[in-house]
Amino acid sequence: MTIQSIDRRLSIAPMMAHTDRHFRYLIRLISKRVLLYTEMITSGAILNGDAHKHLQFNAAEHPVAIQLGGSNPAALARCARQAEDYGYDEINLNVGCPSHRVRSGRFGACLMLQPDTVASCIQAMQENCALPVTVKSRTGVDEQDSYDVLHQFIETVAAAGCRTFIIHARKAYLSGLSPRANRTIPALEYDKVYRLKKDFPALEIIINGGIRGLQQTKAHLQQVDGVMIGRAVCDNPWLLAEADQAIFAHTSLPQTSPITSPTVQRSQVIAEYMQYMQARLDQGERLPAMSRHLAGLYQGQPGARAFRRYLGEHANRRNSSMEAVGKAMAFVQAI
């Protein structure tokens, strides 16, 4: 795929411990169009560990992008080549994670303070694979959070050939806040992201951070090229049920247009996902790794709390089977 052929109007953020291949498969059953991202995978994990374990994915997940973590251009170039061989549609470089472990490896958000290094990484990956290479960053780091600093970062990395920037519209604190707190405490700065699009009209600018649903998505799309949603989809995967029609079926999106009805049914999605889970169980995988992603599927519906509770208590047991999922379904079977 090329940058022009990937529709980034709505994507699902890379989230550690969430956007694994089972979660991505479930989301693809709900929406055929949203762009999916892997969890961040470090260059060291691929080059020094079990590369196949980290890189494998189900062909049904397309379009799917891999997010890499690292700061060594040569190492990232090798990873990009492997990711291309595995069939990913995009390579994304993490320049936004504020965790201490990531920072100690000299990648993630701290790289925003080294735009020349990021540019070198982008250039090396582009020279070694034909996939689009994108960057996900914050609006700033610690006290280096002015718009001028952000503008210079984008300008430097764009000069190396990057055409797509995903901006989490909060700055990152490298000390004093946990990674979890960094997702909510720094103030949202949507205006900075909007301003980037005005200053760099030829670049594709995607906004991320604090976006909870499709109506907010449609509002942001009046200002930028795409929206990335994160935790809201983990809490309630079904919010994407209307996405294909509401977001992707139109060349323009009036902010006031209504959200349409889902094109799929929960019962259909869960039936197909149960078949998927059984097939993986037969291959030796454990049920909890897959069933946990169902917890929010019925959020706001009658019986949802009992469904989540039963699923959490019984599907997480040692040697649990699909029977636990079937019994949990009894609480919401009328939906």
Q: pLDDT confidence of 180, banded at 50, 70, 90?
A: confident
Task: Report pLDDT digits (tens) over 128-137.
Answer: 999 999 999 9
Res. 47: pLDDT tops 60: yes
Res. 2: pLDDT tops 50: no
Res. 324: pLDDT tops 80: yes
Task: Report pLDDT digits (tens) over 197-240.
Answer: 999 999 999 999 999 999 999 999 999 999 999 999 999 999 99
- The full DSSP string for 252-289 is S--TTPPP---SS-HHHHHHHHHHHHHHHHHTT--THH
CB 95 within 8 A of CB 121: no
Nearest one of 242, 247, 239, 245 to 300, comparing CA atoms: 239
Question: What CA–CA distances, in Å, run from 195 to 67, 113, 152, 167, 189?
Answer: 25, 20, 13, 12, 10
- CA atoms of 172 and 181, how far apart (whole Å): 10
Helix (H) or strand (E) holding 42: strand 36-42
* Structure tokens that stand for 241 in this block: 């049920």
Is 97 an active-site residue? yes
Query: Which residue among 97, 110, 121, 162 is the active-site one?
Result: 97
Please report the pLDDT score of residue 64 as a whole number: 98
Please report the pLDDT score of residue 3 as a whole number: 43
Q: Which of 99-103, 172-176, 254-258 has the lowest mean pLDDT?
A: 254-258
